[in-house]
Amino acid sequence: MSPPAIAVPNEADEFQKGVKHLFENGVRKLPNKYILPVSDRPNVDKGNPNVAKSSPRLPVIDFAELQGPDRSRVLDSLSSACEEFGFFQVVNHGVAIEAIRSMIDVSGRFFGLPYEERAKYMSTDMTSPVRYGTSFNQVKDSVFCWRDFLKLVCNDPLSDVLPRWPSSPTDFREVAATYAKETRWLFLKMTEAILECLGGGATAPEDKEILKKFEDGSQLMVVNCFPPCPEPELTLGMPPHSDYGFLTLLLQDEVEGLQIQYKGKWITVEPMANSFVVNVGDHLEIFSNGRYKSVLHRVFANPAKPRLSVASLHSLPFDCMVRPSPKLIDEGNPRRYKDTDFATFLEYVSSREPKKKNFLESRKLT
């Protein structure tokens, strides 16, 4: 009599369950699905010519000073940061510290739930208002990255989407909704300042109009979980990419991981307690007609420590066209980008594996 067949878990199914699931099941060797080609591996060693030997610090914008008599000086610093780095840190930002700490805390508790609880929100539908998943695009990625995520559409009114957000932990909806409102407020204030940097502001009629659109704009919150990785030199937490949207406000815990490309080299962004890392998105590059550029960034994996981050991506409403600002186009600076909208972006990323700034490149006229 033959022994009963032993069910062997399908390897592909295991990958679809995410890296937190792999970590919880004691993975000690990186599965082949996560091993990058040699040319794409992080090589975070300071001896690597593509990694800066000493990382310059990101410009720091003091939001409180931006609201005071030194506004013009801070605006100059802000404009310079957007042009040179595409990234900056914001301190004294007015977002309640309790809201920040609670968001990190509840995010950690969500990813600490049993897999079966997290899996209730698993979906490959990129239009879903709530989506739990892994890697970058788990349908198209040929190699997976070492990340799980929870994506929440936060468009107003929040009451429309809140019932679909995770109900466990029990305080998740309340904490995440408060955090979403506070980051939206900060985004609008920073956008007003950036419009001023570009030669307008809240008093210019065309900027008044676009600020009104941003008030009703899109907001996507992405909670990222990067568990300890058994072989971090072979993979990445996130591959090099730019952000879709106008501005991204990123909240990091105290564990390093974020790197940005600066003058052809990768530099590590040191976490600053209770600050936000803000970066130029593809939409701001288009709107500024290339004056401010969205910058490639990536996340390296950590062999010992888990890492959490919360990215809040903001832009115009999903049905709005994004185009270069007419005031930034003239004979000496012709229009450089086609109009685009969210549907175009979704069609693009749903049909191929997203890489680097390929979507934005597809929008360029020259």
Model confidence band, residue 47 (pLDDT cutoffs 50, 70, 90): low
Please state the pTM of the whole predicted model: 0.92
List, in sequence order, every residue forming a beta bridge with 276; answer none if it has no partner.
90
Whether residue 1 has pLDDT greater than 50: no
Helix axes 205-215, 172-197, angle to 10 degrees: 170
Return the residue matching tokens 């004979």. Answer: 331
Both structure tokens of 199 = 């030669």
Whether residue 33 has pLDDT greater than 70: yes
Average pLDDT over every residue of 153-181: 95
Half-sphere exposure for 322 (CA within 13 Å, toward CB)? 31
DSSP letters for 321-334: -B---GGG-SSSS-
Model confidence band, residue 205 (pLDDT cutoffs 50, 70, 90): confident
C-alpha–C-alpha distance, residues 164 and 170, integer Å? 13
Whether residue 146 has pLDDT greater than 90: yes
Average pLDDT over every residue of 245-264: 96
* Residue ranges per structural domain of the chain: 12-362
Roughly how many angstroms between the first and final C-alpha of the chain, as a whole number? 71
* Mean pLDDT, rounded, of the chain: 90
Torsion of CA 131, 136, 139, 142, to 10 degrees: -160
pLDDT computed for residue 135 by the predictor: 87
pLDDT computed for residue 189 by the predictor: 96
Average pLDDT over every residue of 66-82: 96
Both structure tokens of 54 = 């000493």
pLDDT computed for residue 122 by the predictor: 92
Model confidence band, residue 202 (pLDDT cutoffs 50, 70, 90): low
Both structure tokens of 114 = 């049993």
Percentage, residues of the chain above pLDDT 70? 91
Average pLDDT over every residue of 333-360: 81
If you average pLDDT over each of 6-10, 171-175, 205-209, which comes out highest? 171-175
Whether residue 261 has pLDDT greater than 70: yes
Whether residue 139 has pLDDT greater than 90: no
Residue 304 CB contacts under 8 Å (≥ 6 apart), including other chains:
228
3 state SS of 188: helix
Average pLDDT over every residue of 158-177: 96
C-alpha–C-alpha distance, residues 104 and 172, integer Å? 11
C-alpha–C-alpha distance, residues 360 and 294, integer Å? 9
Q: Which of 165, 153, 172 has the alpha carbon at shortest distance from 102?
A: 172
With beta carbons less than 8 A apart as the criterion, state whether 251 and 100 touch: yes
DSSP state of 291: S
How far CA 156 is from CA of 153, 241, 273, in Å, comes to 9, 27, 29
H helices within the chain, ranges in order? Answer: 11-16, 19-24, 63-66, 71-84, 97-111, 115-118, 172-197, 205-215, 282-287, 342-350, 358-362
Query: Which residue type sits at 196?
Result: E
pLDDT computed for residue 267 by the predictor: 94
DSSP state of 320: S
Whether residue 337 has pLDDT greater than 90: yes
With beta carbons less than 8 A apart as the criterion, state whether 102 and 110 touch: no
DSSP letters for 8-76: PPPHHHHHHT-HHHHHHTT--S--GGGPPPGGGS----TTSTTB-SSPPPPPEEEHHHHTSTTHHHHHH
Work out whether strand 60-62 and strand 87-91 pair parallel, antiparallel, or are unpaired.
Answer: parallel
Considering the domain 12-362, what is its CATH architecture?
Sandwich (2.60)
User: What phi, psi does 21 have (nearest 5°)?
Assistant: -65, -45
Whether residue 200 has pLDDT greater than 80: no
Whether residue 207 has pLDDT greater than 50: yes
Model confidence band, residue 348 (pLDDT cutoffs 50, 70, 90): confident
pLDDT computed for residue 220 by the predictor: 95
